[in-house]
């Protein structure tokens, strides 16, 4: 079997998929900057804005630009800034990539086209054009079939890995066999897209996680991932078990609704969301609150 050399990874460790704080229905950039500062202080390795957790589907183009500009100004070069730039319209995805690159994004996270989904060849061409529009910035593929109805096949990954600046994938399909093959048979860096899969993904060669949990527990998530990357799976497993129930609760309803409620309890931001994200069930609220108490987080 051939040995593949990984392309340069945008980061190793934990990137927080930041929730977008709202106030009165508008993006709260002051709170966003504060969240970024706290995340960096807590030791995360990268920040990701305007992704699924950031409710990118309901952000306007001007809001996306404002978020990228504000976060880049605040963060500078202290940690890499990853910006979500996906769309079902290839032309729009290309435009988003171009704008984010110009505003200082260090890498671009590009979800597979959803709803129209695209043909097998169309998906490859979509990413070729997106990569061209990225102006040399690293592109991270985002595979999340539970949301998009698209699951990038191993054969497609092999083809996509030939694109020079397609360097990594956020894999949220939980197919460990495919992830293992990706790590061993392609040049792509693999990031877990699921907080409950960090240890398995790292164990087969993954480089870390783009995390929801780290919005609430950045230091613990960063430590867990770093332990795993360093081969200390005993310490990593201790933290994974500690936060397993909270992770389960954060996905009991559609992300980021449970997360935003939990963040409001920690006074990190309001629970405000944009439709179609709505208020979570009262029973789930109580379970989240109780788990945060159990973990001594509130």
Q: Is residue 280 part of a domain?
A: no
Q: Is 114 part of any domain? A: yes
Residue among 160, 187, 172 nearest 8 (CA)? 187
CA 78 to chain centre: 18
pLDDT higher than 50, residue 207 = yes
Maximal C-alpha separation, the chain: 57
Please report whether residue 213 resides in a domain: yes
Per-residue pLDDT tens over the stretch 86-118? 999 999 999 999 999 999 999 999 999 998 888
- Any long-range contacts for 190-194 (C-beta under 8 Å, 24+ apart)? 191/15, 191/140, 193/142, 193/143, 193/144
The string of pLDDT tens digits covering residues 18-65 is 999 999 999 999 999 999 999 999 999 999 999 999 999 999 999 999
2 located within any domain:
no
The pLDDT tens digits of the residues spanning 159-169 come to 999 999 999 99
Residues catalogued as catalytic: 142, 170
What CATH number does the domain containing 196 carry? 3.20.20.70
Structural domain includes residue 100: yes
How many domains would you assign to the chain? 1
**Residue 252 domain flag:** no
Rg of the chain on CA atoms, in Å: 18
Decide if pLDDT at 4 tops 90.
no
Output the CA–CA distances (angstroms, integers) from residue 24 to 20, 28, 51, 271, 273, in the order listed: 13, 9, 21, 11, 10
Residue 27 covered by a domain: yes
- On whether residue 138 sits in a domain, the answer given is yes
What pLDDT is recorded for position 18? Answer: 98
Q: Count other Cβ atoms within 10 Å, centred on residue 191.
A: 34
Sign of CA dihedral 244, 174, 48, 19: negative
**What domain range is 205 assigned to?**
13-230
Cα 65 to its chain centre, rounded Å, is: 18
Tell me the mean pLDDT in the region 65-74.
98
* Mean pLDDT for the stretch of residues 66-76: 97
Predicted local confidence at residue 35, as pLDDT:
98
- Please give the share of the chain, as a percent, with pLDDT higher than 70: 99
Are 116 and 122 a contacting pair, CB within 8 Å? Answer: no
5-14, 144-153, 205-214: which has the highest mean pLDDT? 205-214
Mapped to the 3 state alphabet, what secondary structure does the chain carry?
CCCCCCCCCCCCEEEEECCCCEECCEECHHHHHHHHHHHHHCCCCEEEECCCCCCHHHCCHHHHHHHHHHHHHHHCCCCCEEEECCCCCHHHHHHHHHHHHHCCCCEEEEECCCCCCCCHHHHHHHHHHHHHHCCCCCEEEEECHHHHCCCCCHHHHHHHCCCCCEEEEEECCCCHHHHHHHHHHCCCEEEECCHHHHHHHHHCCCCEEEECHHHCCHHHHHHHHHHHHCCCHHHHHHHHHHHHHHHHHHCCCCCCHHHHHHHHHCCCCCCCCCCCCCCCCHHHHHHHHHHHHHCCCC
pLDDT tens by residue, 250-289: 999 999 999 999 999 999 999 999 999 999 999 999 999 9
Average pLDDT over residues 113-127: 93
Residue 1 in this model has a pLDDT that exceeds 50: no
């Amino acid at each position: 079997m051939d040995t593949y050399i990984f392309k340069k990874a945008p980061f190793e460790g934990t990137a927080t998929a930041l929730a977008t704080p709202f106030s009165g229905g508008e993006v709260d950039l002051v709170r966003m900057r504060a969240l970024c500062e706290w995340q960096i202080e807590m030791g995360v390795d990268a920040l990701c804005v305007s992704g699924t957790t950031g409710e990118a589907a309901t952000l306007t183009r001007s809001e996306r630009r404002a978020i990228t500009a504000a976060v880049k100004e605040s963060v500078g070069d202290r940690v890499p800034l990853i910006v979500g730039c996906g769309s079902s319209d290839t032309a729009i995805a290309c435009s988003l990539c171009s704008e984010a690159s110009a505003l200082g994004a260090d890498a671009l996270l590009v979800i597979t086209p959803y709803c129209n989904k695209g043909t097998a060849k169309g998906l490859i061409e979509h990413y070729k054009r997106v990569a061209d529009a990225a102006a040399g910035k690293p592109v991270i593929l985002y595979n999340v079939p539970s949301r998009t109805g698209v699951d990038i096949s191993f054969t497609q990954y092999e083809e996509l890995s030939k694109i020079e600046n397609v360097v990594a994938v956020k894999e949220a399909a939980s197919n460990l066999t495919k992830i293992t093959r990706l790590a061993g048979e392609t040049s792509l860096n693999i990031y877990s897209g699921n907080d409950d899969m960090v240890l398995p993904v790292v164990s087969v060669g993954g480089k870390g996680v783009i995390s929801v949990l780290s919005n609430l527990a950045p230091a613990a998530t960063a430590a867990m991932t770093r332990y795993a990357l360093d081969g200390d799976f005993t310490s990593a497993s201790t933290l994974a078990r500690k936060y397993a129930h909270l992770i389960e609760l954060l996905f009991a309803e559609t992300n980021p609704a449970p997360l935003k409620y939990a963040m409001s309890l920690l006074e990190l931001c309001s629970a405000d969301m944009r439709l179609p994200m709505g208020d979570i069930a009262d029973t789930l609220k109580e379970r989240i609150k109780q788990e945060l108490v159990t973990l001594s987080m509130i």
